[in-house]
Amino acid sequence: MHLTNLLLGLDSLHLFFYLPLVLPGLLGLAAPRFAERLEPRVATWLLTGSAVVLAAASTVALGVLALAGVIRIPLAALIGHWSPTTIAQGDPVSKAEAALAAVLLVAAVVAALRLLRRRVRALVAAGFEAACLPGAGEYVVVDDPAPEAYALPGRPGRVVVSSGMLAALDEGEREVLIAHERAHLRAHHYAFVAVAHLAAAANPLLRPVSTAVAYTVERWADERAADACGDRRRAAQAVGKAALATKRSARGASPRNPATALGILGLRRGPLHGAGPVPRRVAALLAPPVRARRGLPWALPFGVPWLPLVAMCALLAASGVCAFAAAHDIHLLLDPRG
């Protein structure tokens, strides 16, 4: 490749670098609407998968920019057998940009590793606690006046409900509560929450997505509980009463509870947007469930609209292509055959 063509190609490196870093912000803006308007299971899969792709693309972009600074170091050029003259003429990335990218990359990796460490430790603790609980069944009642209910993943996983929570609910509401926690356990909701939070650690613009996923897994479990009891109004009442009982409790959920660390306790503070998560969950259960709009050209099965899906696919494709193009251009710059 001629040096002129190389320079023309590498002039686009800035665009290829910056787009994967800022495009996750668009998903962050759209995440609350996706969480509210899509069927919860579909929304959880869609938001989590998209967050992973965008986080990976932004990490690659940071790595490419940091590498563009490393190759300017004479010792690195000597080890890699690169031409310092070609690098100096063809690399459009400034030293300040490369240094900043290196700092951001290290910060993202450290944040992700620390979060991963905490999640693994919480998962192991949950497994040990589940194994140590009395009985052999999936459902366990603990003698505790504080109203709590949570799912502990393990072998086997356990659904734990305190005596205080049982006292706060009637028989039908208890059925809803147990079905809700079983849905968390069987659908491995802790994994979705963990992956979304890891993506947000890699790119903070994805934090609204992780918040939305924490909400959609609750909505997913709510819908499974409503299906199990066959009464959406009863399910809404159970969700509201359980939340109210927890709020009135003097102690509330223990921060050392493994379910709290895994993000699957179910009663979180802090709004998704507007009203808090519990009122929105109750309102969603009192409304008809999201179903496929059969026969309409702008909707797919599970109530997924065409336009938002196409927009999200375009967002993911643009981020992935830009990250790949930036890495490819750096490869061309370092290729001794260029």
Q: Where are the domains of the chain?
A: 3-334
The token pair that represents 150 in the structure block: 């949570």
Work out the pLDDT band at 10, boundaries 50, 70, 90: very low
Rounded CA separation 171/180 (Å): 14
pLDDT digits (tens, 9 = 90+) for 85-136: 555 555 566 677 778 888 999 999 999 999 999 998 888 888 888 888 887 7
pLDDT digits (tens, 9 = 90+) for 201-226: 999 999 999 999 999 999 999 999 99
pLDDT (mean) for 152-156: 83
Q: What is the pLDDT of residue 266?
A: 43
Q: Give the best-scoring range by mean pLDDT among 59-63, 288-292, 319-323.
A: 59-63
Residue 252 contacts residue 311 (beta carbons within 8 Å): no
Q: What is the mean pLDDT of the chain?
A: 78
Q: Is the pLDDT of residue 170 over 80?
A: yes
Region class of 158: left (phi > 0), else alpha (psi between -120 and 50), else beta: beta
Rounded CA separation 147/162 (Å): 6
Q: What is the pLDDT of residue 199?
A: 95
pLDDT (mean) for 61-77: 70
Q: What is the DSSP string of 189-240?
A: HHHHHHHHHHHHHH-GGGHHHHHHHHHHHHHHHHHHHHHHHT-HHHHHHHHH
pTM: 0.80
Q: Is the pLDDT of residue 276 over 50?
A: yes
177 vs 274, more confident: 177
Q: What is the pLDDT of residue 5?
A: 40
Rounded CA separation 69/98 (Å): 5
Q: Is the pLDDT of residue 255 over 80?
A: no
Q: What is the pLDDT of residue 305?
A: 64
Residue 162 contacts residue 147 (beta carbons within 8 Å): yes
Dihedral sign for Cα 83, 88, 92, 95, please. positive
Q: Is the pLDDT of residue 38 over 50?
A: yes
90 vs 155, more confident: 155
